Amino acid sequence: MNVLLWVIVPYLSLAVLVGGLVWRHRYDRFGWTTRSSQLHETAVLRWGSPMFHFGVLMVLVGHIGGLLVPKAWTEAVGITEHTYHLMAVFVGTVAGLCTLIGMAVLILRRRLTGPVFAATTRNDKAMYVVLGAVLVLGLWATVRANVAGDGYDYRETISPWFRSLFYLSPDPQVMAGVPVGFQIHILAAFALFAFWPFTRLVHAFSAPVGYFTRPYVVYRSRDDRRGLRPTRPGWEGPPTLPKPRAAAGRGSQPRRGAR
Amino acid sequence: MRVMAQMAMVMNLDKCIGCHTCSVTCKQAWTNRSGVEYVWFNNVETRPGQGYPRTYQDQERWQGGWVRTRSGRLKPRSGGRLKRMLSIFANPKLPAMQDYYEPWTYDYEHLLTAPAGEDTPVARPKSLLTGEDTKITWSANWDDSLAGGNEIAAGDPILRQVSEQVRQEYEKAFMFFLPRICEHCLNPSCAASCPSGAIYKRSEDGIVLVDQDRCRGWRMCVTGCPYKKIYFNHRTGKAEKCTFCFPRVEIGIPTVCAETCVGRLRYIGLMLYDVDAVGRAAATEQETDLYQAQRSVFLDPHDPEVIAAARRDGIPEDWLDAARRSPIWDLIMKYEVALPLHPEYRTMPMVWYIPPLSPVVDILRDTGHDGEDAGNLFGAVEALRIPVEYLAGLFTAGDPAPVHGVLRRLAAMRSYQRRINLGEERDESIAAAVGMTGTQLDEMYRLLAVAKYEQRYVIPTAHAEQAHHLEELATECSLDYEGGPGMGGSGPFGEASGSPAPIAVENFHALRQRQTADTVAAPADKATRVNLLNWDGRGRPDGLFPPRRDPDGDGHAPGQGER
C-alpha cells in the first residue's frame, strides 16, 4: 500500500504531467491560453486575481523552500528549527489564506457574473474542485497540526521522501507515519498535477519570462510560417503521403495560424 | 541603412460617405465567428464622435502607444517590462465589453413559434454573451452621422482637446467619416506589449500579425495599441487583429475593405523605409515634429542608392518596381496630401488619410459663398479654426500648418479643375499659389478622382518560390492536411482548442456549412458564417442572398446555388 501511494502514484502523476504537457504543446498549442474573462468583468477580478496569483506564487516558493532545501542546509546558516517553523507557519498561513480568499472571490465572480458563467466549461469546474481541494487540505493540515497539535516537522519525513523521488530511489517508508491530513493533501496535489496539462492551468507553464530579455518589436519572416505543409500531431508517427480521401473529423493540424 | 518594404494604405476621406460596406464585408470575411461578435477589424466612425471603442483616443485614460522618457528613449505608455509583468494578473487598463458594446441577436424563432394571440409577436434582443434578454444601448457605430447630438459628440476626446470653450451647436456641427483598420505601424506598441512575443511584424511586407499558436491570452496588447485595433476573442482567449487580408495581398489582390469600397477611396501600395531610422524618428522630442520625422524614414524608390541598398537587403526586383509605382508614395511624399492618424502615439502608423476638405466647403457654401472658388477656399482654410484644428488633432498632433497645406492643395486642385470643367482657361496662378504646377495638379487629380483599379492598388505578389508558405496559393491541394476536410466543434479543453484549420480550408467549409445554427449564444456549430474572403463575385453561395423562388412555386430554394 505504501509503495502504491508514495511511489507508483507520484511517478504516474508526474509522468502524466510531463507527457501531457508535451502532448498538448504539440497537439493543442492553439488551446494553450489563460482564457482570461477580464473582458466580461473587471471590478471584482482586479482584487481576486492578483490576490490568488500572488498568493499561489508565495505558496509555491514556500513549498520549494520546505521540500527541496534540506533541513541541514538551513541549520548550517543558523536558522533554528523553531525560527524556521514559526516563519513557515506564519508566512504559509498568510499566503494560503490569501490564495484561498482570492480563489473564493474568483469563483463567486464566475458564478454570479452572467457572461463569465456562460464562458465556464465543465473542465473549468472540475479543475476548480481539484485545485480548491488541494488548497483547503493543505491549509487545514497546517492549521490543525499547529493549532490543535504542537506543530509537525515535515522536513524530517515528507521532504526527504519528496527529494528521494527525484534521486530515483524512492523511500516510501518515511511516509507511513505522516499525519493523515498531510497525506491526503499530498495525494490531492498529485491528482492535480496529473490533471494539470488538460486544464487551463497550463498557462502557468508559459509564464512569459522571455519578455524581460527580448527586444520590444519582433520581426519574423514569412518562412517561419508552416502554411499548409502537412505536419502531424505528436502521436501520429512520421509523415505519410496525404490520404486520397481523409476521414471526416476535426481539423487537427498544428499550424501557426495568424489573425 | 537597412531597407524594408511596407504594405501601406491611404484613404481619401473626402470620398467616404459612411456606408459601412468595408466594415460589413470585413466582418463577413474575418470576424463572423463566436467570440468576436463585437469585433470590427474595420470600422467607420463619425467625427466628431466617441469612436469605437468609446473614447479610445483618450490616452490619459487608456494608456496606449509610446511615451518618450526623459532620457529620450521610448517606452510603452502603460509601463515598461516590469510594470507590465506585475499587472499581468489583472490588466488595469483593459477596455471592458461595455466600452465596445454587448453583442446581440434577435429571437427570430419566436416570430414563427409564438402561439396565436392578441398581439403581434416581436423578436426580442438577446445578448450573445449570456443568451438572456438584453437592452441595446450602444454599438460600434451608435453615434453614426452625429446621432445622439451634443450629448454624445461632447464625449469626443479630440474635440475636448481642440478647445475648452467649443460649445457645439448641433446644427452648425461639421461632420465627416473616418474608416479605421489596423495601422500596421512601423513601431508597433502592441507587439512591444505582448509578453509572449506572439505579435510580430512580417519582415517581407510589414504586416503585423498575431501568431495564434503563441498567443497565451495575457491581453496586454489590447492596452498597448492606442488605436484599440487588437481585440480579445473571449471564447478562444486569444488576441485577434486586422490581417491586412494577407492571404489576398500575397496573391496580389487588395484587402476586402478596399476591394468593396463603394467610394473607391482606398489606395494600397508599397513604401520602402529604413528600419534603422525608425526608433530614432519615433523618439523625436516634439510631438508636432513626428509627422515630418516619419516622412524622413521613407526611402525614395527612384534613388539609385536606395535601389542598390534594397537589392542588397533582398527586396525582389518586381517589388522595387511596385514601390516606384506606389500610389502611397505619391500621396505621402510627392503631393504631400496624406497625413498619418495620431502621429503623437509614436507608433509610426502606416494607414494614412487625406483629410477632408468638405467640412470647409460645406460651411462656406452654407454662408452663401462660392465654395469652390480658390480665393474663398484659401481664405476659409485659414479662417475656419475649428474644423482645421480638429483635423490637426487627428492627423498632426495638433499642428495646424501641415493641415493647412494639405487643404490648400486640395482646394487648389478643386478650383483648378473646375475651371477646366467649365471650359474656362487654365489658371496657373492657382497652382502656383500652393507651390505646384498645373501639370502636377492634373496628375494629382487623376490619382484622386479617376484612378483605375490598377493605379489604386499596386500590390506585388509574393514570390513563386515562397508559394509553399503562403496561405491561399498552396502548391498542393488545400484539403490535404492532417485530419482532412472537417472543422467546427471544440477540442476537449474549451472553445476552439485544438489547432485552427488553415484559412483556405476554413473558408471552403464556411462556404458549405453556413448560417445553419439556430442557437443564440455559443452555437454548437461555430462554422456558421458567410465568408467573403474567397468569394470572387461569381455564383450564389448559400446564405449570402435570400433564397430564390423555385419557378415551380413550391417555395423551396434550390439547395446549392449554381457554382
Q: What is the pLDDT along chain A (259 residues), one digit of tens a residue?
A: 788 889 999 999 999 999 999 999 888 888 899 999 999 999 999 999 999 999 999 999 999 988 998 888 888 888 888 888 888 888 988 999 999 999 999 999 999 988 999 888 899 999 999 999 999 999 988 888 887 777 788 888 899 999 999 998 888 888 888 888 899 999 999 999 999 999 999 999 999 999 999 999 999 987 644 444 444 444 444 444 554 444 333 333 334 455 5
Contact A184, A6 (CB under 8 A): no
- Which residues does B122 contact at the CB level (< 8 Å), separation at least 6? B110, B111
| Phi (first) and psi of residue B250, to 5 degrees | -60, -30
Distances in whole angstroms, Cα of residue B199 to Cα of each of A257, B65, B192, B499: 12, 15, 8, 18
What domains can be seen in chain B, in order of their start residue? 1-101+138-148+172-354+451-475 (3.30.70.20), 358-436 (1.10.3650.10), 478-543 (no CATH)
A250 contacts on B by Cβ (under 8 Å): 483, 486-489, 491, 498
Does residue A159 belong to any structural domain of this protein? yes
- Which residues does B129 contact at the CB level (< 8 Å), separation at least 6? A40, A114, A115, A118, B97, B102, B103, B234, B521
Q: Which pLDDT value is given to residue B503?
A: 62
pLDDT tens-digit profile, chain B (563 residues): 999 999 999 999 999 999 999 999 999 999 988 889 999 999 999 988 999 999 999 999 999 999 999 999 999 999 999 999 999 999 999 999 999 999 999 998 899 899 999 999 999 999 988 888 999 999 999 999 888 877 788 788 888 777 655 555 665 678 899 999 999 999 999 999 999 999 999 999 999 999 988 999 999 999 999 999 999 999 889 999 999 999 889 888 899 999 999 999 999 999 999 999 999 999 999 999 999 999 999 999 999 999 999 999 999 999 999 999 999 999 999 999 999 999 999 999 999 999 999 888 888 887 888 878 888 888 888 887 778 889 999 999 999 999 999 999 999 999 999 999 999 999 999 999 999 999 999 999 999 999 999 999 999 987 655 555 565 544 444 444 444 433 344 445 544 455 555 565 555 444 444 444 444 444 444 444 455 665 556 666 666 666 777 665 444 444 444 43
**ipTM of model:** 0.83
A123 contacts on B by Cβ (under 8 Å): 492-494
Q: Which pLDDT value is given to residue A247?
A: 38
Does residue A247 belong to any structural domain of this protein? no
Give me the half-sphere count of Cα atoms (radius 13 Å) on the Cβ side of residue B386: 17
Q: Among residues A140, A106, A147, A139, which one has the least CA distance to residue A125?
A: A106
B94 contacts on A by Cβ (under 8 Å): 38-39, 42
Domain harbouring A78, CATH code: 1.20.950.20
Does residue A252 belong to any structural domain of this protein? no
Does residue A235 belong to any structural domain of this protein? no
- DSSP code string of chain A: -HHIIIIIHHHHHHHHHHHHHHHHHHH-STT-S----TTT--TTHHHHHHHHHHHHHHHHHHHHHHHHS-HHHHHHTT--HHHHHHHHHHHHHHHHHHHHHHHHHHHHHHHHSHHHHHT--HHHHHHHHHHHHHHHHHHHHHHIIIIISS---GGGTHHHHHHHHHHT---GGGGTTS-HHHHHHHHHHHHHHHHGGGSGGGGGGG--GGGGTS-SS-EE-GGG--TT-----GGG-S--PPPSSPPPS--------B-
Whether the full predicted model's pTM is greater than 0.95, yes or no, is no
Contact criterion met (CB < 8 Å) for A226 and B81: no
Interface size, chain A vs chain B, as Cβ–Cβ contacts under 8 Å: 265
Contact criterion met (CB < 8 Å) for A219 and B500: no
Q: Which pLDDT value is given to residue B497?
A: 52
Q: Which pLDDT value is given to residue B262?
A: 94
- Which residues does A31 contact at the CB level (< 8 Å), separation at least 6? A24, B236, B491, B493, B494, B496, B497, B498
Name the residue range of residue A102's domain. 2-209
Does residue A118 belong to any structural domain of this protein? yes
Domain count of the fold of chain A: 1
Contact criterion met (CB < 8 Å) for A257 and B505: no
Contact criterion met (CB < 8 Å) for B92 and A212: no
Does residue A46 belong to any structural domain of this protein? yes
Tracing cell 499596386 back to the chain, one arrives at B458
Does residue A224 belong to any structural domain of this protein? no
- Which residues does B382 contact at the CB level (< 8 Å), separation at least 6? B404
